[in-house]
Amino acid sequence: MMIDYVTLMLANMTAGFFLLGIFVYQGMEGEERTSWAPAFGICGLVATACGFMMTFKWPLPVPFNMAFGETSVLLGVLLLGTAWAIAKGWELMPLAVYGLFAGAVAILLGVRIIELNLTQNPILSGVGFILSGAAGVCAPVVVWQSEQKGLRVIASMVLFAVSAIWAYTCVLAYWAHIAAK
């Protein structure tokens, strides 16, 4: 019996993008900013640990390890960095620049998932990766223009849409995986 933890990674990613959506919507500043650090840290730790395990242990066929494992590491370290920066009161722009590059990788993988017809639902997965990547690519602009409420609302809507895609994918994965014997 093969054991994978894609379901855990999907649940964690759903939570991470949802938290980011709320954080961006609320303005990324203010007195309560530091209270977000533990939540981002938890999501970052799970994503990084699972991503490294998947990347180095290969529980899935190669393209899936690359798509899910490596992007989980990128998202995980970004969330860990965000937690650390928020806790210390540091500027988020350097992390947003890192997010731009991680986002570009996610967009590339999303396009290839659709093109190669990978996963049970390649269109949904591909769009999930592409929108996740778009959020990362646009992160420097959102951080730079964080006082622009309209831009934050749009960014939050994208993050909530990404979270919804991963939540739906997560439900389908749990439903299928729990039936596997």
| 178: confidence class by pLDDT, cuts 50, 70, 90 | confident
The pLDDT of 69-88, averaged and rounded, is 97
In the block, residue with structure tokens 């646009």:
138
The number of distinct structural domains making up the chain is 1
32 pLDDT above the threshold of 50: yes
Which CATH number do you get for residue 98?
Answer: 1.25.40.600
In a domain, 37, yes or no: yes
Structure-model confidence comparison of residues 167 and 67, the more confident one: 167
- The percent of residues in the chain predicted with pLDDT above 70, rounded, is 98
DSSP 100-124: HHHHHHHHHHHHHHHHHT-SSSHHH
Type and span of the H or E element at 40: helix 37-57
Q: pLDDT tens digits for 128-162?
A: 999 999 999 999 999 999 999 999 999 999 999 99
Give the model's pLDDT for residue 1.
47
Contact 158, 135 (CB under 8 A): yes
Q: pLDDT tens digits for 108-129?
A: 999 999 999 998 899 999 999 9
Give the model's pLDDT for residue 104.
98
Q: pLDDT tens digits for 10-21?
A: 999 999 999 999
In a domain, 1, yes or no: no
d(CA 157, CA 166): 14
Contact 118, 61 (CB under 8 A): no
d(CA 181, CA 179): 6
Residue among 178, 122, 170 at smallest CA distance from 3: 178
Q: Which structural domain range is residue 40 located in?
A: 6-179
